[in-house]
Structure 1
Amino acid sequence: MSKVERDPINEDSLPKLGLEPYAELIKRSARADTPIDDAKRGLMLLWLSDYFLDAIDVELAPFGITESKLDLLILLTLHGDKRATPSAIAKRLGITRASATSLIDWLEKRRLVIRNHSAQDRRKVFVSITEEGRTFVDKALPTYWSFCASILTDLEPEERQVFEKIVNKLNHSLQQKLGVER
Protein backbone atom coordinates (compact mmCIF):
# COMPACT_ATOMS: atom_id res chain seq x y z
CA MET A 1 0.00 0.00 0.00
CA SER A 2 1.42 3.40 -0.95
CA LYS A 3 1.70 6.35 1.42
CA VAL A 4 -1.05 8.15 -0.51
CA GLU A 5 -3.44 5.24 0.05
CA ARG A 6 -2.64 5.07 3.77
CA ASP A 7 -2.78 8.84 4.29
CA PRO A 8 -5.76 10.30 2.40
CA ILE A 9 -4.91 13.84 3.47
CA ASN A 10 -2.58 15.49 1.00
CA GLU A 11 0.33 16.78 3.07
CA ASP A 12 0.72 19.70 0.65
CA SER A 13 -2.65 21.16 1.61
CA LEU A 14 -4.37 22.09 4.83
CA PRO A 15 -7.94 21.13 5.67
CA LYS A 16 -10.61 23.80 5.43
CA LEU A 17 -11.37 25.36 8.79
CA GLY A 18 -14.25 27.71 8.12
CA LEU A 19 -14.86 30.84 10.12
CA GLU A 20 -15.59 29.36 13.54
CA PRO A 21 -12.01 28.48 14.60
CA TYR A 22 -10.95 31.99 13.62
CA ALA A 23 -13.85 33.46 15.60
CA GLU A 24 -12.71 31.46 18.64
CA LEU A 25 -9.14 32.66 18.15
CA ILE A 26 -10.38 36.27 17.93
CA LYS A 27 -12.24 35.82 21.25
CA ARG A 28 -9.10 34.43 22.92
CA SER A 29 -6.54 36.83 21.49
CA ALA A 30 -8.21 40.19 20.75
CA ARG A 31 -7.65 43.18 22.98
CA ALA A 32 -10.42 43.78 25.50
CA ASP A 33 -11.65 46.88 23.63
CA THR A 34 -11.92 45.07 20.26
CA PRO A 35 -15.49 44.37 19.14
CA ILE A 36 -15.36 40.62 18.45
CA ASP A 37 -18.09 40.58 15.79
CA ASP A 38 -16.47 43.51 13.96
CA ALA A 39 -13.10 41.76 14.02
CA LYS A 40 -14.79 38.71 12.48
CA ARG A 41 -16.46 40.89 9.80
CA GLY A 42 -13.15 42.58 9.06
CA LEU A 43 -11.48 39.20 8.69
CA MET A 44 -14.20 38.18 6.24
CA LEU A 45 -13.50 41.34 4.21
CA LEU A 46 -9.79 40.48 4.13
CA TRP A 47 -10.62 36.99 2.90
CA LEU A 48 -12.97 38.44 0.30
CA SER A 49 -10.25 40.73 -1.02
CA ASP A 50 -7.87 37.76 -1.26
CA TYR A 51 -10.47 35.78 -3.19
CA PHE A 52 -11.04 38.69 -5.57
CA LEU A 53 -7.33 39.00 -6.27
CA ASP A 54 -6.99 35.26 -6.82
CA ALA A 55 -9.99 35.25 -9.16
CA ILE A 56 -8.82 38.23 -11.23
CA ASP A 57 -5.39 36.62 -11.57
CA VAL A 58 -7.13 33.57 -13.05
CA GLU A 59 -9.01 35.83 -15.50
CA LEU A 60 -5.80 37.64 -16.47
CA ALA A 61 -3.74 34.44 -16.84
CA PRO A 62 -4.32 34.26 -20.63
CA PHE A 63 -2.58 37.65 -20.84
CA GLY A 64 0.37 36.36 -18.80
CA ILE A 65 0.00 39.03 -16.14
CA THR A 66 -1.27 39.42 -12.58
CA GLU A 67 -3.57 42.09 -11.19
CA SER A 68 -0.72 43.82 -9.36
CA LYS A 69 1.31 44.20 -12.56
CA LEU A 70 -1.71 45.37 -14.53
CA ASP A 71 -2.51 47.80 -11.72
CA LEU A 72 0.89 49.43 -12.20
CA LEU A 73 0.33 49.66 -15.97
CA ILE A 74 -3.12 51.20 -15.42
CA LEU A 75 -1.59 53.75 -13.03
CA LEU A 76 1.00 54.75 -15.63
CA THR A 77 -1.67 54.84 -18.35
CA LEU A 78 -3.87 57.19 -16.32
CA HIS A 79 -0.95 59.52 -15.66
CA GLY A 80 -0.34 59.86 -19.39
CA ASP A 81 3.00 61.40 -20.21
CA LYS A 82 3.77 62.34 -16.61
CA ARG A 83 6.85 60.51 -15.39
CA ALA A 84 6.71 58.51 -12.15
CA THR A 85 9.48 57.47 -9.81
CA PRO A 86 9.53 53.96 -8.34
CA SER A 87 9.00 55.53 -4.90
CA ALA A 88 5.90 57.41 -6.06
CA ILE A 89 4.56 54.23 -7.67
CA ALA A 90 5.15 52.25 -4.47
CA LYS A 91 3.41 54.87 -2.36
CA ARG A 92 0.41 55.11 -4.68
CA LEU A 93 -0.02 51.33 -4.93
CA GLY A 94 0.50 50.84 -1.20
CA ILE A 95 3.46 48.51 -1.60
CA THR A 96 7.12 48.60 -0.59
CA ARG A 97 9.76 50.17 -2.81
CA ALA A 98 11.30 46.69 -3.24
CA SER A 99 7.96 45.29 -4.44
CA ALA A 100 7.55 48.18 -6.87
CA THR A 101 11.06 47.60 -8.20
CA SER A 102 10.27 43.92 -8.70
CA LEU A 103 7.08 44.76 -10.62
CA ILE A 104 8.91 47.33 -12.74
CA ASP A 105 11.72 44.85 -13.49
CA TRP A 106 9.17 42.27 -14.67
CA LEU A 107 7.30 44.77 -16.83
CA GLU A 108 10.53 46.23 -18.25
CA LYS A 109 11.77 42.79 -19.35
CA ARG A 110 8.57 42.50 -21.39
CA ARG A 111 9.03 46.01 -22.84
CA LEU A 112 5.79 47.23 -21.26
CA VAL A 113 7.54 49.98 -19.28
CA ILE A 114 10.85 51.76 -19.58
CA ARG A 115 13.14 53.40 -17.05
CA ASN A 116 14.80 56.70 -17.85
CA HIS A 117 17.40 58.54 -15.81
CA SER A 118 16.91 62.19 -15.02
CA ALA A 119 19.06 64.53 -17.10
CA GLN A 120 19.62 66.70 -14.00
CA ASP A 121 20.36 63.89 -11.54
CA ARG A 122 21.41 60.52 -12.96
CA ARG A 123 20.56 58.86 -9.64
CA LYS A 124 16.89 59.69 -10.15
CA VAL A 125 14.93 57.18 -12.24
CA PHE A 126 11.58 57.69 -13.92
CA VAL A 127 9.25 54.96 -15.16
CA SER A 128 6.89 55.34 -18.07
CA ILE A 129 4.66 53.04 -20.06
CA THR A 130 5.77 52.12 -23.58
CA GLU A 131 3.60 51.98 -26.70
CA GLU A 132 3.73 48.21 -26.39
CA GLY A 133 2.52 48.63 -22.81
CA ARG A 134 -0.37 50.86 -23.90
CA THR A 135 -1.40 48.30 -26.52
CA PHE A 136 -1.21 45.55 -23.92
CA VAL A 137 -3.39 47.51 -21.48
CA ASP A 138 -5.94 48.18 -24.22
CA LYS A 139 -6.19 44.42 -24.83
CA ALA A 140 -6.38 43.40 -21.15
CA LEU A 141 -8.77 46.06 -19.84
CA PRO A 142 -12.01 44.65 -21.32
CA THR A 143 -11.40 41.39 -19.44
CA TYR A 144 -10.45 43.32 -16.30
CA TRP A 145 -13.57 45.53 -16.38
CA SER A 146 -15.79 42.54 -17.16
CA PHE A 147 -14.44 40.76 -14.09
CA CYS A 148 -14.92 43.88 -11.94
CA ALA A 149 -18.57 44.01 -13.03
CA SER A 150 -19.06 40.28 -12.45
CA ILE A 151 -18.15 40.60 -8.77
CA LEU A 152 -21.56 42.09 -8.06
CA THR A 153 -23.76 39.77 -10.11
CA ASP A 154 -25.14 38.01 -7.02
CA LEU A 155 -26.38 41.29 -5.51
CA GLU A 156 -29.78 42.82 -6.15
CA PRO A 157 -29.83 46.44 -7.46
CA GLU A 158 -30.70 47.79 -3.98
CA GLU A 159 -27.93 45.73 -2.41
CA ARG A 160 -25.47 47.13 -4.94
CA GLN A 161 -26.35 50.67 -3.90
CA VAL A 162 -25.93 49.85 -0.21
CA PHE A 163 -22.70 48.00 -0.99
CA GLU A 164 -21.34 51.02 -2.88
CA LYS A 165 -22.16 53.33 0.02
CA ILE A 166 -20.47 51.01 2.52
CA VAL A 167 -17.39 50.46 0.33
CA ASN A 168 -17.01 54.21 -0.25
CA LYS A 169 -17.19 54.83 3.49
CA LEU A 170 -14.63 52.11 4.28
CA ASN A 171 -12.39 53.23 1.42
CA HIS A 172 -12.43 56.84 2.63
CA SER A 173 -11.66 55.76 6.20
CA LEU A 174 -8.68 53.64 5.12
CA GLN A 175 -7.36 56.38 2.84
CA GLN A 176 -7.45 58.79 5.78
CA LYS A 177 -5.62 56.33 8.06
CA LEU A 178 -2.95 55.62 5.46
CA GLY A 179 -2.67 59.11 4.00
CA VAL A 180 -2.90 57.67 0.50
CA GLU A 181 -5.50 57.95 -2.23
CA ARG A 182 -5.86 56.20 -5.56
Structure 2
Amino acid sequence: MYEKIESLLDNFYKTYYKIEEINLNQVIKCLTTSELHIIEAIGENEITMNELSDKIGITMGTASVAVNKLTEKQFLERSRSNTDRRKVFVKLTPKGEVALNYHGNFHSTILEKITDDIPKEKLDTFVEVFETIMKNLEKVKKDIQPETILNFEKGDLVQVSSIKGSTAIRKYLNEKGVVIKSLIKILNIDKYLINMIVDGDEKILNIEDAENIMVRKNAL
Protein backbone atom coordinates (compact mmCIF):
# COMPACT_ATOMS: atom_id res chain seq x y z
CA MET A 1 0.00 0.00 0.00
CA TYR A 2 2.74 2.46 0.97
CA GLU A 3 4.59 1.91 -2.28
CA LYS A 4 1.39 2.66 -4.19
CA ILE A 5 0.80 5.88 -2.19
CA GLU A 6 4.38 6.99 -2.84
CA SER A 7 4.08 6.18 -6.54
CA LEU A 8 0.76 8.06 -6.87
CA LEU A 9 2.10 11.16 -5.13
CA ASP A 10 5.30 11.11 -7.18
CA ASN A 11 3.42 10.73 -10.49
CA PHE A 12 0.91 13.42 -9.52
CA TYR A 13 3.50 16.08 -8.77
CA LYS A 14 5.65 15.23 -11.78
CA THR A 15 2.65 15.47 -14.11
CA TYR A 16 1.16 18.52 -12.38
CA TYR A 17 4.33 20.57 -12.53
CA LYS A 18 5.10 19.41 -16.06
CA ILE A 19 1.73 20.85 -17.13
CA GLU A 20 2.63 24.04 -15.27
CA GLU A 21 6.00 24.23 -17.03
CA ILE A 22 4.45 23.71 -20.48
CA ASN A 23 1.81 26.37 -19.84
CA LEU A 24 4.39 28.78 -18.41
CA ASN A 25 6.58 28.45 -21.51
CA GLN A 26 3.59 29.42 -23.64
CA VAL A 27 2.50 32.42 -21.57
CA ILE A 28 5.40 33.95 -19.56
CA LYS A 29 8.48 32.73 -21.40
CA CYS A 30 10.99 34.78 -19.41
CA LEU A 31 10.22 32.98 -16.12
CA THR A 32 11.21 29.52 -14.96
CA THR A 33 8.90 27.39 -12.81
CA SER A 34 11.22 27.88 -9.82
CA GLU A 35 11.14 31.67 -10.26
CA LEU A 36 7.36 31.61 -10.42
CA HIS A 37 7.25 29.68 -7.15
CA ILE A 38 9.44 32.35 -5.55
CA ILE A 39 6.97 34.99 -6.73
CA GLU A 40 4.17 32.92 -5.24
CA ALA A 41 6.07 32.55 -1.93
CA ILE A 42 6.47 36.34 -1.65
CA GLY A 43 2.82 36.93 -2.50
CA GLU A 44 1.13 40.26 -1.92
CA ASN A 45 3.17 41.25 1.14
CA GLU A 46 6.70 42.48 1.69
CA ILE A 47 8.87 39.82 3.37
CA THR A 48 12.50 39.53 4.46
CA MET A 49 15.08 37.44 2.63
CA ASN A 50 15.25 35.16 5.68
CA GLU A 51 11.51 34.63 5.59
CA LEU A 52 11.67 33.86 1.88
CA SER A 53 14.46 31.29 2.22
CA ASP A 54 12.61 29.62 5.12
CA LYS A 55 9.31 29.60 3.26
CA ILE A 56 10.62 27.79 0.20
CA GLY A 57 13.30 25.75 1.96
CA ILE A 58 16.43 27.06 0.26
CA THR A 59 19.65 28.63 1.52
CA MET A 60 20.13 32.39 1.75
CA GLY A 61 22.72 32.16 -1.02
CA THR A 62 20.34 30.41 -3.39
CA ALA A 63 17.55 32.85 -2.50
CA SER A 64 19.86 35.82 -3.18
CA VAL A 65 20.79 34.51 -6.64
CA ALA A 66 17.12 33.96 -7.52
CA VAL A 67 16.07 37.36 -6.20
CA ASN A 68 18.87 39.03 -8.16
CA LYS A 69 17.62 37.48 -11.39
CA LEU A 70 13.99 38.37 -10.70
CA THR A 71 15.00 41.92 -9.80
CA GLU A 72 16.88 42.23 -13.11
CA LYS A 73 13.75 40.99 -14.89
CA GLN A 74 11.75 43.64 -12.96
CA PHE A 75 9.45 41.17 -11.21
CA LEU A 76 10.83 42.06 -7.75
CA GLU A 77 12.31 45.00 -5.89
CA ARG A 78 14.45 45.04 -2.76
CA SER A 79 14.85 47.52 0.08
CA ARG A 80 16.68 47.72 3.42
CA SER A 81 14.98 48.23 6.75
CA ASN A 82 15.13 51.78 8.07
CA THR A 83 15.67 50.49 11.61
CA ASP A 84 18.03 47.57 10.90
CA ARG A 85 20.24 47.92 7.83
CA ARG A 86 21.14 44.23 7.99
CA LYS A 87 17.56 43.27 7.14
CA VAL A 88 16.59 43.17 3.44
CA PHE A 89 12.98 43.14 2.28
CA VAL A 90 11.63 41.93 -1.07
CA LYS A 91 8.26 42.60 -2.68
CA LEU A 92 6.59 42.22 -6.05
CA THR A 93 6.56 44.96 -8.63
CA PRO A 94 3.37 45.54 -10.68
CA LYS A 95 4.88 43.16 -13.25
CA GLY A 96 5.39 40.58 -10.51
CA GLU A 97 1.78 40.96 -9.37
CA VAL A 98 0.59 40.14 -12.89
CA ALA A 99 2.67 36.94 -12.80
CA LEU A 100 1.30 36.08 -9.34
CA ASN A 101 -2.30 36.50 -10.50
CA TYR A 102 -1.62 34.35 -13.55
CA HIS A 103 -0.12 31.62 -11.36
CA GLY A 104 -3.10 31.61 -8.99
CA ASN A 105 -5.61 31.46 -11.86
CA PHE A 106 -3.66 28.63 -13.47
CA HIS A 107 -3.78 26.44 -10.36
CA SER A 108 -7.48 27.12 -9.78
CA THR A 109 -8.34 26.23 -13.37
CA ILE A 110 -6.30 23.01 -13.40
CA LEU A 111 -7.66 21.80 -10.06
CA GLU A 112 -11.21 22.51 -11.20
CA LYS A 113 -10.65 20.51 -14.40
CA ILE A 114 -9.14 17.45 -12.75
CA THR A 115 -11.75 17.22 -9.96
CA ASP A 116 -14.85 18.15 -11.98
CA ASP A 117 -16.20 14.57 -12.20
CA ILE A 118 -15.51 13.64 -8.55
CA PRO A 119 -18.48 13.88 -6.11
CA LYS A 120 -18.14 16.58 -3.44
CA GLU A 121 -18.35 14.09 -0.55
CA LYS A 122 -15.36 12.17 -1.94
CA LEU A 123 -13.39 15.39 -2.34
CA ASP A 124 -14.24 16.36 1.25
CA THR A 125 -12.94 12.98 2.47
CA PHE A 126 -9.79 13.34 0.35
CA VAL A 127 -9.09 16.80 1.77
CA GLU A 128 -9.63 15.57 5.34
CA VAL A 129 -7.29 12.60 4.90
CA PHE A 130 -4.65 14.64 3.09
CA GLU A 131 -4.71 17.32 5.79
CA THR A 132 -3.99 14.61 8.38
CA ILE A 133 -1.13 13.27 6.24
CA MET A 134 0.34 16.78 5.91
CA LYS A 135 0.02 17.38 9.64
CA ASN A 136 1.92 14.16 10.38
CA LEU A 137 4.49 14.99 7.72
CA GLU A 138 5.16 18.36 9.32
CA LYS A 139 5.81 16.60 12.64
CA VAL A 140 8.41 14.36 10.99
CA LYS A 141 9.94 17.36 9.22
CA LYS A 142 10.26 19.27 12.50
CA ASP A 143 12.21 16.38 14.02
CA ILE A 144 14.80 16.23 11.25
CA GLN A 145 14.99 19.70 9.67
CA PRO A 146 16.47 22.71 11.44
CA GLU A 147 14.05 25.56 12.12
CA THR A 148 14.44 29.06 13.43
CA ILE A 149 14.55 29.07 17.21
CA LEU A 150 11.48 31.35 17.18
CA ASN A 151 9.35 28.37 16.11
CA PHE A 152 9.97 26.72 19.47
CA GLU A 153 8.50 27.47 22.89
CA LYS A 154 9.40 28.33 26.44
CA GLY A 155 11.09 25.38 28.14
CA ASP A 156 12.28 23.71 24.92
CA LEU A 157 15.85 22.41 24.82
CA VAL A 158 17.41 22.78 21.37
CA GLN A 159 20.79 22.52 19.67
CA VAL A 160 22.15 24.98 17.11
CA SER A 161 22.65 23.40 13.67
CA SER A 162 23.45 26.55 11.68
CA ILE A 163 23.37 30.35 11.79
CA LYS A 164 21.87 32.33 8.93
CA GLY A 165 22.04 35.98 7.99
CA SER A 166 24.87 38.28 7.01
CA THR A 167 28.49 37.97 8.15
CA ALA A 168 27.84 40.75 10.68
CA ILE A 169 24.87 38.93 12.18
CA ARG A 170 26.75 35.63 12.43
CA LYS A 171 29.70 37.35 14.06
CA TYR A 172 27.42 39.10 16.56
CA LEU A 173 25.69 35.85 17.52
CA ASN A 174 29.05 34.07 17.86
CA GLU A 175 30.18 36.82 20.23
CA LYS A 176 27.02 36.14 22.25
CA GLY A 177 28.12 32.53 22.59
CA VAL A 178 25.77 31.13 19.96
CA VAL A 179 27.80 28.74 17.80
CA ILE A 180 27.08 25.52 15.95
CA LYS A 181 26.25 22.69 18.40
CA SER A 182 25.50 25.13 21.24
CA LEU A 183 22.81 23.79 23.58
CA ILE A 184 20.07 26.33 24.26
CA LYS A 185 17.20 26.24 26.73
CA ILE A 186 14.49 28.77 25.94
CA LEU A 187 13.42 30.67 29.05
CA ASN A 188 11.00 33.11 27.46
CA ILE A 189 10.01 34.58 24.09
CA ASP A 190 7.96 37.75 23.69
CA LYS A 191 7.31 40.19 20.87
CA TYR A 192 10.72 41.82 21.07
CA LEU A 193 13.16 39.60 23.02
CA ILE A 194 14.15 36.00 23.62
CA ASN A 195 15.64 35.03 26.97
CA MET A 196 17.65 31.79 26.91
CA ILE A 197 20.47 29.80 28.46
CA VAL A 198 23.29 29.15 25.97
CA ASP A 199 25.72 26.43 27.11
CA GLY A 200 24.99 27.35 30.73
CA ASP A 201 25.08 31.16 30.34
CA GLU A 202 21.93 33.27 30.29
CA LYS A 203 21.59 35.49 27.21
CA ILE A 204 19.02 37.98 25.90
CA LEU A 205 18.66 38.67 22.17
CA ASN A 206 16.26 40.72 20.13
CA ILE A 207 13.86 38.78 17.91
CA GLU A 208 15.36 40.09 14.65
CA ASP A 209 18.77 38.57 15.47
CA ALA A 210 17.40 35.39 17.04
CA GLU A 211 15.44 34.45 13.90
CA ASN A 212 18.79 33.60 12.28
CA ILE A 213 19.50 30.81 14.78
CA MET A 214 18.57 27.48 13.21
CA VAL A 215 18.09 24.63 15.69
CA ARG A 216 16.80 21.08 16.20
CA LYS A 217 14.77 20.08 19.23
CA ASN A 218 16.28 17.69 21.76
CA ALA A 219 19.37 17.15 19.58
CA LEU A 220 21.57 15.69 22.32
Correspondence for 1:53 among 17, 21, 27: 17
1:77, distance to aligned residue in structure 2 (A): 2.6
Length-normalised TM-score, structure 2: 0.54
SS in 2 for 1:151: helix
Distance 1:155 1:98, change over 3 A: farther
Gaps of 5+ in 2: 148-220
1:41, distance to aligned residue in structure 2 (A): 1.9
**Residue correspondence of structure 1 range 18-57 to structure 2 within 5 A:** 37-57=1-21
Identity fraction in percent: 20
CA root-mean-square deviation: 2.7
Match of 1:63 in 2: 28
Distance 1:98 1:48, change over 3 A: farther
Distance 1:170 1:110, change over 3 A: same
Higher helix share: 1
Higher strand share: 2
The one-letter amino acid of 1:46's match is D
Matched-pair contact (CA < 8 Å) for 1:60–1:144: no
Matched-pair contact (CA < 8 Å) for 2:40–2:103: no
Length-normalised TM-score, structure 1: 0.63
Distance 1:168 1:113, change over 3 A: same
Distance 1:94 1:151, change over 3 A: farther
Match of 2:210 in 1: none
Aligned residues: 142
1:73 maps onto 2:34 in alignment: no
Correspondence for 2:47 among 60, 72, 84: 84
Instruction: String of CA shifts for 1:24-69, please: whole Å, max 9, x gaps.
Output: xxxxxxxxxxxxx314422431232222111112222212234432
Distance 2:125 2:35 in 1: 30
